Copies of this chain bind each other. A is one copy, B any other.
Amino acid sequence: MASPTCVMKFGEKGGATGYLVGQENRGLATMFVMMNAARLGVGIQGVGVAECATQRALAYAKERRQGKSFAANGPPGMSPIIEHADVRRMLLTMKALTQAARMICFATAREHDIGHRAADEKTRQAALSRAALLTPLAKAFSTDIANEVASLGVQVHGGMGFVEETGAAQYLRDARILPIYEGTNGIQAIDLVTRKLPLDGGATVTAYLAELAEIIGNVRASNRPEFGHMPERLTQALTGLQTATLWMAMTLQSAPEAALASATPFLRLMSLTAGGAYLAKGALAEDPASPRVAIARFYAENILPEAESLAEAVQSGADSVLVDAHGAVFA
């Protein structure tokens, strides 16, 4: 992964030549052909940066020794930092967020493929609507977590992460453009709320929530002890998402500016819940000792609780975003 983002100046030496792409006065519409595909592409870029940051931090944490861990019962001397609980928490967070974002991107790509290749027109249409619904999640969530993961990668490296030798800081710099370009993540959230939730009269999002509920029902029914608190955390997140989606549907009509004020936490809530469901679906297909089970459980118990908070913020936070409409706070 690398990011060639830079400032470019055209026309300094005697002018630059412009070429018309598509029809005259149809520039924005023409650009959006590129843009819609690019949004998923940027999401994948986020997954790529996050994956690289994770691999590099993991390798460093196995090599770098400092202090003596609880687990240490081998030869004398200091432990590799991967044995310290707080470092494990960071590495597991990196792995779990990266995997959740990857699965959201793959789910989006799959719907694109079905939407273009399925024999049946109705199947194609449903898939294209699903892809449209998931695209803002794929773009915004993946690039937000790319920054969180790359920042954790710097932290795992300690002082060696801040200086340049390890490459950890470069991932964070590369990640930082991703929530900005191809439509900022704020724009993605507004797109999700104002254009994607109302798709097909709400049928697209309703069918998606039903699919997540089915996965979570299967997790509950499996009664697998190695899942720990995964079933209840998934259920809490889904309940929060369902309630917040209903709030959004009503608020879009009654107080559209409030819906916009809560769009960003809503996008995060939907992404976290979807990611948790996908990880759990993967875990259901595995043996108890599988790393996929461990990651899904870690995600459910340590990351997914955020969904409840987000559901509260979506439903009762908008007024205090807007309360100062002309106000003293920004004086």
**Provided the pairs A306-B309, A320-B228 are in contact, do residues A159 and B176 lie with their beta carbons within 8 angstroms?**
no
The answer to whether the Cβ of A32 comes within 8 Å of any Cβ in the partner chain is: no
Task: Determine whether the beta carbon of B313 is less than 8 Å from that of A87.
Answer: no
Per DSSP, chain A at the interface is helix
Q: Is the CB of B177 within 8 A of A162?
A: yes
Render A291-307 as a binary contact track against B, CB cut-off 8 A, 1 for contact: 10011011001110111
Residue of B nearest to A90 (CB): B186
Whether B176 contacts A257 by the Cβ 8 Å rule is no
Asked if A114 is at the interface (CB within 8 A of a chain B CB), the reply is no
How far apart are the CA atoms of A232 and B65 in the complex, in Å? Answer: 45
B159, B309, B318, B328: the one contacting A180 at CB < 8 Å is B159
Contacting residues, chain B, for A263 (C-beta < 8 A): 85-86
Would B70 and A256 count as touching, CB distance under 8 A? yes
Contacts of A329 in B (CB 8 A): 92, 95, 291, 294-295
Given the known interface contacts A88-B321, A298-B320, the answer about A176 and B151 at a Cβ–Cβ threshold of 8 Å is: yes
Q: Residue-by-residue, is A136-153 near B (CB-CB < 8 Å gives 1, otherwise 0)? A: 000000000001000100
With an 8 A cutoff between CB atoms, is A190 at the interface?
Answer: yes
Residue A158 at the chain B interface, CB threshold 8 Å: yes
CB–CB B261/A86 < 8 A = yes
With A70-B256, A86-B190, A169-B176 given, is the CB distance from A319 to B228 under 8 Å? yes
Chain B hits for A70, CB < 8 A: 256-257, 260
Asked if A7 meets B163 with Cβ closer than 8 Å, knowing A257-B85, A291-B324, A321-B302, the reply is yes
Q: Which of A86, A155, A256, A320 has the most CB of B within 10 A?
A: A320
